[in-house]
Amino acid sequence: MQIAQVIVDIPTRQTNNPYSYLIPDYLVDQVVPGMRVEVPFGNRKITGFVVAIVNNSDFAGKLKPISSLIDFSPVINEELLQLSSWMADETYSFKISCLQTMLPGGMRIKNKKRLIANDDSVVNQHPEIFDGNHEIDYNRQKLTDKSIAQIIRLQKEGKIQVEYNLTHHAKPIMMKAYQGQLDQGQADSQLAVVRKNAKGQLKLLSILSAHPHETFLRNQLITQGVTESAIKTGEKNGWLKQTLKRHIRNPFLRSVAHTNPLTLQPDQKQAVTRINQAISGKQDQVFLLEGVTGSGKTEVYLQSIAHALETGRTALMLVPEITLTPQIVGRIRSRFGNQVAMLHSALSNGERYDEWQRINSGQAQVVVGVRSAVFAPLRNIGLIIIDEEHDSSYKQTDNPRYQTRDVAKWRAAYNHCPVVLGSATPSLESRARAMKGVYKLLTLPHRINRHALPHVSIIDMKTEMAKHRSILSNQLSNAIQDRLDKHEQIILLLNRRGYSAFLMCRDCGYVPKCPNCDISLTMHKNTHSLNCHYCGHKEPIPTVCPKCHSKRIRFFGVGSEQLEEQVKQLFPTARVLRMDVDTTRKKGSHEAIIDKFGAHKADILLGTQMIAKGLDFPEVTLVGVLNADSALQFPDFRSSERTFQLLTQVSGRSGRADKQGEVVIQTFNPDHYAIQLAQTQDYERFYATEMRVRHDGKYPPYYFTVKLTGNSPSENQTASEMFDILTYLKSHLSAQAIILGPTPKAVTRINNRYYYQIIIKYRKEPNLKPALDEILMQSQKKQRHGLQIAIDNEPLDFM
Ligand code: ADP
Ligand code: ZN
Ligand code: ZN
């Protein structure tokens, strides 16, 4: 008797333990750990992941059999199965969420969605039609309607591609028909069909016969005006040939010329040597590679990746969200060609699935991707790189709330390989570990071409605003005009999207707020609406005050949309591009903006912090930061660190080639140490100053932290349950644990639920994990009156 242990898709604490199911005879030896299956659960069927196959079960009752197989081969390998267990424990989340997080978007199956295969499925009955290049003939293969529906679904899910062209014997007849002989009244029965429903079919024929040696995808045909019924008729009458193929899309729109490794500078050479030794020696050592922008970190990565490949292993390189990807991927592809797969959010589900397949099947040995690529199904990893390791996108803010650096370290230990964390401004946690010797510090102290760092000036906006009420200081406006005259490029950073921060009635002070959240609405001019950035609520922009009917409604606070408008007014001849969440929603738009600016088809690139990172534009000689304080205003112990990192990074954008760069930072807090030290790019002093602040405030890296957030539809309920949890924690934790709260979150009400939080700071607290697990269990068992609880281990913010 074979029994499958299955983690079922019911997110609760109980289902973190697998359920046992019988493997029916016809599936014996086909079910393997890491496959997804459909299983009965209560009176319905749900999906789950097989995590083990055993011969006995200690379950006392009668075991039910697996209903069907979803996958034909494992989608989660042995390493990732083990990782999911560790991660569920580490992040206080459900195993099922961890397993699902590891799969690319398009492969996640929602509970109620119909399954793609079952025991009488088309795939089991007709395996031959999925091996590629098989002409399918629905009649000959006796496919049922259900099977045909499955094929169409598989195709929509991007798992197979259907291609069309004319069949051999039908081609001459149909060509003739298309070439104008249609009206001559031939008695051919097929032509009769054509005539009856001619329009769509003529279209289809015209496309196919114009390119007789090509095949067409279903979607290509549909978008050119061919009807579904024309395709069906063609298939039915045998003149249209349909083939099914596992199709691999190519997300690399541009091909890249090959580049050779550069001769390394002494510091780079030393770094590469140490990393390569760790690769050869199979050591899971963590390196912190510290170097200002332009110091040659990427070349170090490339040569270390090359070494990992030479030793027959694979390499994983992570970059922050989409910002870095197009340029870095270009550099990596130019070195390693088609061995590179990329995984990031700008790919369609289908493309991501294809890349995932290429990795899983071993065709791609180098993976470049964002946070979730840390789960890429690479085998035998020889090197993991995390570029810009301090970046906040490496922490997932939803369940499972993992820190990519920790997952990378786990995989490095499993694969016996080094991790390289690269940054100009390392997180305090990583730097502190390097100082202790836990990580090995490698530094690249110079810019490659010894260019001086840009000249940074700080403008006090308090005095500036007293003189005139423009968002651009005189110095910044003059500098912009100067660069425009010299035909050089400019980047302007304003960390707030939308047109203006909020609306206010000049007469009664009324500010429109979201009906669902405690937050004022942001005006978006292009959509003519007031939007809530928390829940997505939208409403029209009022022309009179809804409260006092005054017409004196005014906008306050400038967002990127308004900055664009103002800049265009001030510099009417300048070509301006804006990059923020709102202009980069469409697939490929982010890349298009970068390409355009990179080709100097625009003079000014402005936008939110998306533009701050990693972009390498040699013609940029001026960077303006319009509101350097935006991060400082948050009530968060990391706000200084974020401000310093952002300003240092954005300054690195200026003057990368042979021209001296300039940076203008506008601020209301010119004396703040984060801003002062960013001016000189003095990481060493920032680290020392900030470590003192952290020490005195008992913050990381001196203390570990956990954030516990509870929410419910009633504020009283939330508060009283959270105070109850506080009592529980106090009686279970030692006196050295510091418990803060419960306090209402900065935005207390979101989507009509009230949020309170408790922060726990500790150095060593063996009771913490059991206590938090118990609290989660209580809320799961509904002992906490509908309070929903989220636990964030090492949160990035305390808000
Ligand atoms: P970082 O990743 O630290 O910002 P890069 O690796 O992008 O730095 O290097 C900055 C520039 O210097 C790039 O244009 C790169 O091609 C060049 N470069 C890097 N290393 C070398 C080297 N050893 N010799 C010559 N040029 C180099
Ligand atoms: Zn009013
Ligand atoms: Zn809202």
Q: What is the pLDDT of residues 669-691, one digit of tens each?
A: 899 999 999 998 899 999 999 99
In this prediction, residue 660 carries a pLDDT of: 79
The pLDDT of residue 761 is 95
Task: Give the pairing type, strands 340-343 and 788-793.
Answer: unpaired
CA distance 311 to 185: 70
Length of the chain: 799
Query: Does 265 contact ligand 1 (Cβ within 6 A)?
Result: yes
448 Cβ closer than 6 Å to some ligand 1 atom: yes
Structure tokens at 211: 């390119």
pLDDT value, residue 254? 47
Nearest atom of ligand 1 to the alpha carbon of 292:
3
CA distances from 560 to 15, 265, 609 (A): 46, 40, 11
For residue range 394-412, what is the model confidence (pLDDT) as tens digits? 999 889 999 999 999 999 9
> Of 78-82, 101-105, 126-130, 203-207, which range is least confident?
126-130
Task: Check pocket membership of 590 for ligand 1, CB cut-off 6 A.
Answer: no
pLDDT at 778: 85
Residue ranges per structural domain of the chain: 3-101, 112-165, 173-247, 266-450, 455-497+559-684, 704-793
Residue 506 has what pLDDT? Answer: 84
Two tokens, residue 714: 């009633």
Tens of pLDDT, residues 414-438? 999 999 999 999 999 999 999 999 9
pLDDT value at residue 146: 64
Average the pLDDT over 474-481 and give the result. Answer: 95
Ligand 1 in reach of 262 Cβ (< 6 A): yes
| Among the listed residues 326, 394, 316, 320, the one whose alpha carbon sits nearest the alpha carbon of residue 359 | 316
pLDDT tens string 92-106: 999 999 999 999 876
Q: What is the CATH number of domain 704-793?
A: 3.30.70.600
98 assigned ligand-binding residue? no
Beta carbons within 10 angstroms of residue 492's beta carbon? 26
Tell me which residue of 429, 571, 558 sits closest to 490, measured CA to CA. 571
Q: Measured from the CB, is residue 261 less than 6 Å from ligand 1?
A: no
Mean local confidence (pLDDT), 694-721: 94
Please name the residue whose Cα sits nearest to atom 11 of ligand 1: 294
- Mean pLDDT (whole number) for 694-710: 94
Q: Which of 264, 273, 298, 319 to mutate to test the pocket of ligand 1 (most atoms within 8 A of CB)?
A: 298
% of the chain exceeding 70 in pLDDT? 82
Amino acid at 75: V
DSSP for residue 513: B
Helix (H) or strand (E) holding 761: strand 753-762
Residue 121 confidence (pLDDT) above 70: no
Is it the case that residue 310 has pLDDT exceeding 80?
yes
Identify the weakest region by mean pLDDT among 65-69, 455-459, 462-466, 624-628.
462-466
Q: Identify whether 127 is preceded by a cis peptide bond (ω within 30 of 0).
A: no
Alpha helices in 682-797 (DSSP H): 683-696, 715-732, 768-780
- Other CB atoms within a 10 A radius of the CB of residue 657 amount to 14
Lowest mean pLDDT among 89-93, 324-328, 789-793: 324-328
pLDDT value, residue 446 = 86
pLDDT at 114 over 70: no
pLDDT digits (tens, 9 = 90+) for 146-191: 666 666 666 666 566 666 666 554 554 455 444 444 444 443 444 4
Q: pLDDT exceeding 90 applies to what percent of the chain?
A: 46
Nearest to 67 by CA among 53, 51, 52, 48: 48
Q: What distance in Å separates the CA atoms of residue 654 and residue 261, rounded to the nearest whole number?
A: 26
CA-447 nearest atom, ligand 1? 10
Whether residue 706 contacts residue 759, with contact meaning beta carbons closer than 8 Å, is answered with yes
> How many Cα atoms are found within 13 Å in the side-chain-facing hemisphere of 334?
16
Which position has the token pair 């005195």?
696
Domain 173-247 has CATH 3.30.70: no
pLDDT > 60? residue 127: no
For the domain spanning 455-497+559-684, the CATH number is 3.40.50.300
Fold agreement between 3-101 and 455-497+559-684:
no
Tell which residue, 660, 645, 292, 658, has the closest CA to residue 447: 292
Question: Tell me, what's the pLDDT at 5?
Answer: 95
* pLDDT 10s digits, 5-37: 999 998 777 778 899 999 988 788 888 999 999
289 and 420 in contact (C-beta within 8 Å)? yes
How many angstroms separate the Cα of 518 from the Cα of each of 514, 745, 750?
7, 10, 7
Q: Does any ligand 1 atom lie closer than 6 A to the CB of residue 293?
A: yes
Q: Look up residue 127 and give its two tokens.
A: 């395996």
C-alpha–C-alpha distance, residues 367 and 339, integer Å: 8
Specify the range with the lowest mean pLDDT, choosing from 137-141, 551-555, 587-591, 659-663.
137-141
The pLDDT, as a whole number, for residue 161 is 61
Ligand 1 mutation pick, 297, 448, 617, 619, max ligand atoms within 8 A of CB: 448
**Do the beta carbons of residue 165 and residue 207 sit within 8 Å?**
no
pLDDT in tens, 42-61: 888 899 999 999 988 777 78
Nearest CA to ligand 1 atom 10: 294
Check pLDDT > 70 for residue 350: yes
The first and second tokens of residue 524, run together, are 């978006």
213: left (phi over 0), alpha (psi -120 to 50) or beta: alpha
691 pocket-lining for ligand 1 (C-beta < 6 Å): no
Evaluate whether the domain defined by 3-101 bears CATH number 3.40.1440.60. Answer: yes
Query: Residue 180: its pLDDT value, please?
Result: 46
Is the pLDDT reported for residue 343 higher than 80?
A: yes
- The answer to whether the bond into 40 is cis (omega within 30° of 0) is no
Does residue 196 carry a pLDDT above 80?
Answer: no
Do the annotations mark residue 517 as ligand-binding?
Answer: yes
Structure tokens of 792?
């964030």
pLDDT of 794: 94
pLDDT at 775 over 70: yes
| Beta-bridge partner residues of 554 | 504
Give me the half-sphere count of Cα atoms (radius 13 Å) on the Cβ side of residue 5: 14
Band (110; pLDDT cuts 50, 70, 90): very low
Q: What's the mean per-residue pLDDT of the chain?
A: 83
Q: Could you tell me if the CB of 296 is within 6 A of ligand 1?
A: yes
Compute the distance from residue 519 Cα to the ligand 2 centre, in Å. 18
Q: How confident is the model over 747-770, as a mean pLDDT?
A: 93
Cβ < 5 A residues, ion ligand 3: 514, 516-517, 532, 534-535, 537
Output Rg (C-alpha) for the chain, integer angstroms: 30
Ligand 1 and 294: CB distance under 6 A:
yes
What whole-number distance in Å separates Cα of residue 204 and Cα of residue 210? 10
Mean pLDDT of 573-599: 85
Tokens of residue 399, six digits: 């369940």
Closest CA to 536 of 750, 712, 715: 750
Residue 228's contacts (CB-CB under 8 Å, 6 or more residues apart) are 222
Report the CATH superfamily, name and number, of domain 266-450. P-loop containing nucleotide triphosphate hydrolases (3.40.50.300)
Grade residue 586 by pLDDT with cuts at 50, 70 and 90: confident
Q: What is the 3-state secondary structure (H, E, C) of 606-627?
A: EECHHHCCCCCCCCEEEEEECC
pLDDT of residue 379: 96
Kindly provide the b/e burial profile for residues 173-192, where b requires at least 16 CB atoms within 10 angstroms of the residue's own CB: bbebbbeeebeeeeeeebbe
In the predicted structure, residue 118 carries a pLDDT above the cut 60 = no
- Say yes or no: CB of residue 297 within 6 Å of ligand 1: yes
pLDDT band at 131 (very low <50, low <70, confident <90, very high): very low
pLDDT at 559: 84
Nearest to 665 by CA among 643, 683, 684: 643
Non-local (6+) Cβ contacts of 252 within 8 A are 329, 333, 342
Look up residue 217 and give its two tokens.
């995808």
Q: Establish how many alpha carbons lie within 13 A of residue 152's alpha carbon, considering only the half-sphere containing its beta carbon.
A: 11
Residue 516: its pLDDT value, please?
A: 84
**Closest Cα to atom 14 of ligand 1:** 294
The single residue listed with the structure tokens 């009022």 is: 542
How far is it, in rounded angstroms, from Cα 269 to Cα 718?
57
- The tally of CA atoms less than 13 A away on the side-chain side of residue 765 is 23
Q: Which three-class secondary structure state does DSSP give residue 385?
A: strand
Amino acid at 71: D
- Find out whether 312 and 383 touch, Cβ atoms under 8 Å: no
Predicted local distance difference test score (pLDDT) of residue 115: 35
Residue 124 beta carbon below 6 angstroms from any ligand 1 atom: no
- Residue 769 CA to residue 776 CA, distance in Å, equals 11
What's the confidence (pLDDT) of residue 169?
47
Residue 721 CB–ligand 1 contact under 6 Å: no
DSSP secondary structure letters along 71-137: -SS-SS-HHHHHHHHHHHHHTT--HHHHHHHTS-GGG---TTSPPS--TT-HHHH-GGGGSSSEEE-
Q: Which of ligand 1's atoms lies nearest the C-alpha of 293? A: 4
**What is the position in ligand 1's atom list of the atom closest to the CA of 616?**
7
Quick one: pLDDT at residue 132? 45
pLDDT at position 351: 78
Residue nearest to atom 20 of ligand 1 (CA): 296
Q: Which atom of ligand 1 is nearest to the CA of 424?
A: 3
Give residue 613's pLDDT band: very low, low, confident or very high (50, 70, 90). Answer: low
